[in-house]
Amino acid sequence: MDESDILLTTSVEDTHWWYRERRHIIARELKRIGKPGRAIELGAAGGGNSLTLQRMGWDVLATEYLPTGVEVAKSRGLNAIQADARKLPVDSQAFDLLVAFDVLEHIEEDYLAAGEIFRVLKPGGTALIAVPCDMALWSDHDVASGHYRRYTRETLHALISGAGLQVETLWSWNVLLRPVVAMRRKQSSGSDVTDVHPLVNFGLETIVKLERYLPVKSRRGVSLMLRARRPS
């Protein structure tokens, strides 16, 4: 993600179906975790996810590699710093929660970031992670977005468990719209993060919301989501 992508994401994320449903998932997982504490987000961009955490009572530190994202996050009232996820400038065992949504695929040495996730979490702390899945979906969108890879369940599980975390659950998301995404990616010549016509946006959001209730989380989707815990 470059600086223009951060600005575009910030401008559309409050209404865009993809970001809205993902925030619902974050909020759902936070309710399962329970009492809010200290949280850190890796690759926060303009801080949209961090705002969700903050609104739910968490004391959030948003970290972002690019200075534009830090500036945007600060302008939205967030505590934000510039940081490299491979070497975070924070104390060990300092956070109850870590969120990294669509970050690890941007890092060539993703194992270093995974090690940092383990390091900064308190014993018993939780990590919520999302990544794009399945190299069969690799396209110009991934190239334009600066991705090094798309993950499988096995490679994501191995990365996180290899860092010392206990994987509690791993599931697919954006399953119902995978055929549409696959078709669009084949036809695209760059990133597909764009503003969407309100009627199309409503239709896509309605479809992806169905995944809250349907037993599709074990099927192939567009993204993988994982919740893990640092052993107590």
How buried is 206 (Cβ within 10 angstroms: 0-12 exposed, 13-18 middle, 19+ buried)? exposed
pLDDT of residue 185: 81
**Token pair for 225:** 């989501």
* Whole-number Å distance between alpha carbons of 117 and 162: 12
pLDDT tens-digit series, residues 183-209:
988 776 666 667 789 999 999 999 999
Averaged in consecutive runs of 10 residues, what is the pLDDT profile of the chain (232 residues)? 77 90 95 94 96 97 96 96 98 98 97 98 98 94 92 98 98 97 78 79 96 97 98 94
Give the residue carrying structure tokens 């809010």. Answer: 36
Average pLDDT along the chain? 94
What tokens were used for 207? Answer: 């479809």
Length of the chain: 232
The residue range of the domain holding 52 is 3-229
- In whole angstroms, give the CA distance from residue 178 to residue 222: 6
Query: What's the pTM?
Result: 0.93
Number of domains in the chain: 1
**What CATH number has the domain bearing residue 98?**
3.40.50.150
- 3-class secondary structure for 39-98? EEECCCCCCHHHHHHHHCCCEEEEEECCHHHHHHHHHCCCEEEECECCECCCCCCCEEEE
